[in-house]
Amino acid sequence: MSDGTFPFAIRQRVRFAETDMQGVVYYANYLVYAEVGRSALLRHLGIRRDALQKSGLDFAIGEASVRYHAPLRYDDEFDVRVRVAEVRGASWTLHYAVDRADGLRCADMTTIQVVFDPRLSKAVRIPDDVRAALQGGAR
Amino acid sequence: MSDGTFPFAIRQRVRFAETDMQGVVYYANYLVYAEVGRSALLRHLGIRRDALQKSGLDFAIGEASVRYHAPLRYDDEFDVRVRVAEVRGASWTLHYAVDRADGLRCADMTTIQVVFDPRLSKAVRIPDDVRAALQGGAR
Amino acid sequence: MSDGTFPFAIRQRVRFAETDMQGVVYYANYLVYAEVGRSALLRHLGIRRDALQKSGLDFAIGEASVRYHAPLRYDDEFDVRVRVAEVRGASWTLHYAVDRADGLRCADMTTIQVVFDPRLSKAVRIPDDVRAALQGGAR
Amino acid sequence: MSDGTFPFAIRQRVRFAETDMQGVVYYANYLVYAEVGRSALLRHLGIRRDALQKSGLDFAIGEASVRYHAPLRYDDEFDVRVRVAEVRGASWTLHYAVDRADGLRCADMTTIQVVFDPRLSKAVRIPDDVRAALQGGAR
């Protein structure tokens, strides 16, 4: 996966709070970094959870996975890169890379996000405007 | 403050997630420990946030403070001790101690919790049943 | 995966801190729950990170994945179930289930943990005593 | 405390991870925001923990307090404002404000940071260069 395949990135800096006693970023915090990237991408694409909720829908993460390649440390700057990998009937897959500012690939991640009806606790078809926005972001 | 003055305690064990690169529990996590003690005390006293919400009220923390005495480390067992220190018109004060299982005092904490009306964003008088329960826990 | 296949479990209760604005446990916190289960299992098997470090080694998570089935909410009690799924040359795989106290399966997780030499940043063979302990826990 | 009295600020955006089931930022996370502000201020003043450690010293938070005025919500942008309030023999006090981007004061915080010798677990005099840098930041 070259950087070129990620059309979207957001820069962050490792907080002291995010480290653990091994002196590196605690492994679960990479999913927080994924959320920061995902939120920024969806905001960029004009997909808003509050708008979805007004039509009685919500979304949630159905699956998440992380492969750790190199540790991040306190005060490191890094980029969370995100792209839309696939859009299906009720869900979409995002791919992420966490790259230290000097380019070192620290982690790869994947999430599957599902649109559901909270009253029915049931997955439902992605609304057309959200689908169009995601497909626009799937470059 | 002798242990005797805390009528209520809950035992916990330090998670890896709660440590930081100094090898000790990250300072903000003591407020999470306070919440664990506070939740357990309120549950013990029969004070339920969802019941309060049914009468259109909620509560929130208005002030919190921590004094750090000794560090906790990964896998340490410790007790969060809590007592009701004062009950006022719209708020109450809790005192906490975080003691390592061998008795070492690691931190003292104080929180002020306020009852408010979420529609008005305004503090309101503590309901009588909550007041009675808190005063019963103030021994 | 029936409960019977998990020989080890540890009970926890959802903290307020672990919830998010959707009213359920935030998705990254399941990896914290995995760590609580993993730490408890390793402690139970007599595998200690500080002992490993004395022989110049350490371990870290190389891969982690979560499938989310049902949400946990504040104050829910739940069990983190863990088993050793596979032991290889330099790494081992753990499987986890997060089950609400009434038995509802909320999440499945997998982690791959790698033994490495921190001076070389290189994976190394699992020490014999650790391997034997893990194989003893792989029932 | 007018904004004018804080010579230093860093802008952040609320993460989903930082919210709780009340739909607002969880109270302990304000101490994480304080750390982000404190880290940025110390970096700006040229005070580095790794340099301090080379001379056998470290620092830690001895006291922290927060007063909550208004809630922050998901996606809100906000500024963490910091100033050096007092420099003593072995410790210094920082004051913080957390202001939503539109100027709403959401929280005030105070921390006391102590220089200590980790081998003796004992507070020691602030090194002269650190003292000078802090006093330069105390405008």
Check B35 against C43: CB less than 8 A apart.
no
CATH code 3.30.1490.120 for A3-136: no
Residue B121 pLDDT: 85
Banded model confidence at residue D121, pLDDT cuts 50, 70, 90? confident
Question: What tens digit of pLDDT does each residue of A43-53 get?
Answer: 999 999 999 99
Q: What is the mean pLDDT of chain A?
A: 94
Residue D139 pLDDT: 55
Say if residue D136's pLDDT is above 70.
Answer: yes
Alpha helices by DSSP H, listed for chain C, are 29-45, 49-54, 128-136
Question: Which residue type, as a one-letter code, is found at position C34?
Answer: A
Residue D138 pLDDT: 58
Q: B32 contacts in A (CB within 8 Å)?
A: none
Residue C44 pLDDT: 95
Question: What tens digit of pLDDT does each residue of A7-31 get?
Answer: 899 999 999 999 999 999 999 999 9
Residue C6 pLDDT: 93
| Best of C12, C14, C15 to mutate (most B CBs within 10 Å, chain B) | C15
Question: What tens digit of pLDDT does each residue of B73-107 get?
Answer: 999 999 999 999 999 999 999 999 999 999 999 99
pTM: 0.96
> Which percentage of chain C shows pLDDT scores above 70?
95
Say yes or no: B104 contacts chain D, CB-CB below 8 A: no
Are the C-beta atoms of residues D33 and C34 closer than 8 Å to each other? no
Q: B–C: how many Cβ contacts below 8 A? A: 20
- Name which of B28, B29, B66 is nearest D63 (Cβ-Cβ): B66
Q: What is the mean pLDDT of chain D?
A: 94
> Which percentage of chain A shows pLDDT scores above 70?
95
Q: Report how far residue C97's alpha carbon sits from residue B64's, in angstroms, rounded to the nearest whole number.
A: 36
Say if residue B2's pLDDT is above 50.
Answer: no
> Half-sphere exposure of residue A7, counting CA atoms within 13 Å on the CB side?
14
What is the average pLDDT across B1-11? 76
Residue A115 pLDDT: 97
Say if residue C63's pLDDT is above 60.
Answer: yes
Say if residue B128's pLDDT is above 90.
Answer: yes
Higher pLDDT, B50 or B30: B30
Name residues whose C-beta falls within 8 Å of residue B113's C-beta, 6 or more positions apart in sequence: B38, B59, B60, B61, B62, B91, B92, B93, B94
What is the average pLDDT across C93-110? 98
Q: A29 contacts in C (CB within 8 Å)?
A: 28
Spell out where B1-139 has E strands: 8-13, 58-68, 77-87, 91-100, 105-117, 122-123
**Structure-derived torsion over alpha carbons of residues B12, C15, D14, D42, reported in degrees to the nearest 10:** -10
Per-residue DSSP letter, C76 = -
Say if residue B4's pLDDT is above 60.
Answer: no
Residue D72 pLDDT: 98
Say yes or no: A20 contacts chain B, CB-CB below 8 A: yes
Residue C1 pLDDT: 41
Say if residue B69's pLDDT is above 70.
Answer: yes
Say if residue C2's pLDDT is above 60.
Answer: no
What is the average pLDDT across D39-56? 94
Say yes or no: A36 contacts chain D, CB-CB below 8 A: yes
Check C64 against A61: CB less than 8 A apart.
no
Say yes or no: B32 contacts chain A, CB-CB below 8 A: no
Higher pLDDT, C138 or B7: B7
Banded model confidence at residue C3, pLDDT cuts 50, 70, 90? very low
Question: What tens digit of pLDDT does each residue of A84-99 get?
Answer: 999 999 999 999 999 9
> Which percentage of chain D shows pLDDT scores above 70?
95
What is the average pLDDT across C59-64? 97
Question: What tens digit of pLDDT does each residue of D91-109 get?
Answer: 999 999 999 999 999 999 9
Q: What is the mean pLDDT of chain B?
A: 94
Residue position matching structure tokens 């801190």: C17
Count the helix, strand and coil residues of chain C and give each as a percent rounded to the nearest 5: 25, 40, 35
Question: What tens digit of pLDDT does each residue of C104-136 get?
Answer: 999 999 999 999 999 988 999 999 999 999 998
Beta carbons within 10 angstroms of residue A102's beta carbon? 8
Residue D105 pLDDT: 98
Q: B39 contacts in C (CB within 8 Å)?
A: 15-16, 75
